[in-house]
Structure 1
Amino acid sequence: MSSGDDAARAEAQPNDGRDGGNQGLADTTENTSAEAEEPAKAEEVAKNGFRGRPTAYTEVDGLSERYPMNHRPRGSALIFAHSKFDNKSLNPRPCAAHDAEIARAAFKALDFKPEVFFDLTRNELLRELQAVSKRDHSGSDAFAIVFMSHGEVKTRNNMEFVWAKDDKIPTKELWINFTAERCAGLAGKPKLYFIQACRGPDVDKGVNMSRAVRGMAVQTDSIEEYVIPIHADQLVMWASYPGFPAFTSKRKGIQGSVFIHYLAENLKDYANTSPRPSLSSILLKVSREVAVLYETDIGSDNQYHENKQVPYIHSTLLREIYF
């Protein structure tokens, strides 16, 4: 093939494509005919934009480094605490009421409107999440969920679940209703999820660390349009690393879940400081304190004796959060 043919072929290729993949299904004959058989889709595209992209409205500049925090209350903070379970193989969680109260107080101190729910069934939980996603969130700056229960992992596919009172749900159900295309009122706003639940049975005995000592002790009148991914502006913080358990304690001033204790303590403490630090720095301190200050004391005959725990964060936040 001539160099001219190569150049023509290269020019015909799209500038962007899926790494390691084929062109999108939208360009295939099979998908085109499927769309032709569903004329109703054309109306949806006309309403929502190219390929059904919905439109949401925001006050924030696309490259702003901070999320705006201008409302009181900041938004809703849903706290789901589970203490009793129909499945008798699941131990009761007597710390649930205590953990729910310290979480409620922490988010109230940050100017959220906390709502506490105890021992919801699977259907009640899913209905509540769907109902909240349909509220008018236009007057909110952010949204939060704190979920406390037992957790479970399917080893076959590593799919994670959390338990309601009577049944389990995939963990992703906690946030799936609040993505940008399903809940336009929260599009472009931070959505925060804090999950106290075990993520597996692995053991973490930690590593001894020895410190080496060296030496001596705007505002604009123009309208900007930009597009964000549907899963942007989301932070999920689990109590423990994937595959590992989360612990409760009645030592060192802790009266329930270790993660919830340090999370609530730091959120409430920093709510009273001025200026308030960024949420990322607060959560970094939470992780550090859980990892360094806590170690289980269950008894030497238990595999989880002298075990460590470290929280785990998955974030698609685009900006810093300063409450």
Structure 2
Amino acid sequence: MGKTGTGSNKSQGNQNEQKKLQASDGSKRKKTVKRNSQANKENIPEYVPRTNGPKRKREPLQPTSNISDHYPKKKRVVSTQRECYSMSKRPLGHCLIINNFNFEGTSLGNRRGTDKDKDDLTRVFQNMFFKVEVRDDLQASDMLTVIKEFAERDHSQMDAFVCCILSHGKKGSVLGTDGIPVPISELTQLFAECRTLVKKPKIFFIQACQDNEAQQGVLIADGLVKTTEEGTFEQGSHTAASHSVHKDADFLIGIATVESYKSFRHVKDGSIFIQELCKQLESGCRRKEDIHSILTKVNNIVSSKILQGSKQMPEVRYTLTKTLVLPMQ
């Protein structure tokens, strides 16, 4: 009786221990399930036991500056093309040169040296494919007649027009050989109304003083500019006013000097402004430089000279709407 009871008690105890073990295993499984579900919710990767396969080599760290962006930025393209006037027609255009030398019968002196300017302008503009025509010693009425004649011509088969006036002048005007002034505004207005020159450059170069004042040099840090010109110079009389530039588009007017001052002309070698203009046009046009850059060089060189103790500062006014690059053969 006693032994039987003892064996039954042991088997019952073993059963109780197995139940406790099963209960503890179940609770562990539940905790593992809970942890796995929580890890999935938080996107935490489950633990993967290490295998006996070959170890991966660690790649060396790279600086972030060498790593290309996943979305590379587009490079900004900057256009360097210039919108230029067409200069393809041959002949390129008419070039009128009015050369007033003889002022006898007036209080004005003859313009010695002007023929050198005329010859050099003729050569330069012929090399630019212009059809050059020269008119010498025109009185005021004749100047207006010639200007009107050129303004009424058919320029439809040409790309530009040039007019060079070499004369005495006074404020707002150039003078005929009879001493009578012709307003600059009248000259430009005639070409502003020319339909076959619409949207084409109309260029005027005028050699004349702008008044009777002598322009003096200004002291700079290391003294006066050293450039000097030797020889016999004459001063033009009165003015050809730059403020007379017509407001319509596609005009350019280059004047020998700023308003209120004299310009200078050598009695043999021609005027300072026209001679430098011809030189810079020949060199600059062959390098495909635009007219604004060329005239800026003319201003710089002429203004650096000392002429009979005075200075000369050319002036350019323009209403060009495109870049102007004149051809040169």
Q: TM-score range by the shorter chain?
A: 0.5 to 0.7
Which of structures 1 and 2 has the bigger CA Rg?
Answer: 2
**Whole-Å separation in 1 of the counterparts to 2:118 and 2:207:** 11
Deviation at 1:210, TM superposition (A): 3.0
C-alpha distance 291-124 of structure 1, shift in aligned 2 (>3 A): same
**Whole-Å separation in 1 of the counterparts to 2:247 and 2:182:** 22
TM-superposition CA deviations, 1:183-225 (whole Å, max 9, x none):
000010011111101111122111122369xxxxxxxxxxxxx
C-alpha distance 77-230 of structure 1, shift in aligned 2 (>3 A): same
3-state SS in 1 of match to 2:321: coil
Match of 2:99 in 1: 81
For 1:1-323, list aligned pairs within 5 A.
65-153=83-171, 160-166=172-178, 167-179=180-192, 182-210=193-221, 231-249=248-266, 255-271=269-285, 273-274=286-287, 276-292=288-304, 294-297=305-308, 306-323=309-326
| 1:66 alignment partner AA | C
**Whole-Å separation in 1 of the counterparts to 2:114 and 2:134:** 11
**Whole-Å separation in 2 of the counterparts to 1:282 and 1:138:** 27
**Whole-Å separation in 1 of the counterparts to 2:297 and 2:185:** 26
Q: Structure 1 regions of 5+ residues with no counterpart?
A: 1-63, 154-159, 213-228, 298-305
TM-superposition CA deviations, 1:237-279 (whole Å, max 9, x none):
11000111111126xxx701110110111112234x24x1111
3-state SS in 2 of match to 1:175: helix
Q: Is the 8 A contact 1:295 1:307 kept in 2?
A: yes
**Whole-Å separation in 2 of the counterparts to 1:237 and 1:105:** 19
3-state SS in 2 of match to 1:116: strand
C-alpha distance 230-203 of structure 1, shift in aligned 2 (>3 A): closer
**Whole-Å separation in 2 of the counterparts to 1:110 and 1:183:** 22
Q: Is the 8 A contact 2:112 2:266 kept in 1?
A: no
Deviation at 1:230, TM superposition (A): 6.8
Deviation at 1:319, TM superposition (A): 0.9
TM-superposition CA deviations, 1:102-147 (whole Å, max 9, x none):
1111111212111111001222111111111111100111111110
TM-score, with structure 2 as normaliser: 0.64
Q: Is the 8 A contact 2:115 2:270 kept in 1?
A: no
Q: Is the 8 A contact 1:200 1:243 kept in 2?
A: yes
**Whole-Å separation in 2 of the counterparts to 1:130 and 1:110:** 24
Deviation at 1:173, TM superposition (A): 2.5
| 1:308 alignment partner AA | K
Deviation at 1:95, TM superposition (A): 1.2
| 1:316 alignment partner AA | T
**Whole-Å separation in 2 of the counterparts to 1:152 and 1:278:** 30
Deviation at 1:88, TM superposition (A): 2.5
Match of 1:11 in 2: none
Q: Is the 8 A contact 1:107 1:267 kept in 2?
A: no
Match of 2:233 in 1: none
Deviation at 1:87, TM superposition (A): 4.1
Deviation at 1:86, TM superposition (A): 4.3
**Whole-Å separation in 1 of the counterparts to 2:92 and 2:220:** 41
Q: Is the 8 A contact 1:163 1:169 kept in 2?
A: yes
**Whole-Å separation in 2 of the counterparts to 1:144 and 1:81:** 14
TM-score, with structure 1 as normaliser: 0.65
4+ long deviations beyond 3 Å:
none
**Whole-Å separation in 1 of the counterparts to 2:127 and 2:221:** 38
Identical columns (%): 32
Two-structure CA RMSD over aligned residues (Å): 2.0
3-state SS in 1 of match to 2:303: helix
Deviation at 1:70, TM superposition (A): 1.2
Q: Is the 8 A contact 1:110 1:267 kept in 2?
A: no
| 1:194 alignment partner AA | F
Deviation at 1:94, TM superposition (A): 1.7
| 2:314 alignment partner AA | P
Q: Which moved more, 1:309-318 or 1:166-175?
A: 166-175
**Whole-Å separation in 1 of the counterparts to 2:186 and 2:264:** 23
**Whole-Å separation in 2 of the counterparts to 1:109 and 1:255:** 21
**Whole-Å separation in 1 of the counterparts to 2:89 and 2:278:** 22
Deviation at 1:66, TM superposition (A): 1.2
Match of 2:235 in 1: none
| 2:137 alignment partner AA | D
Match of 1:42 in 2: none
Aligned length: 223
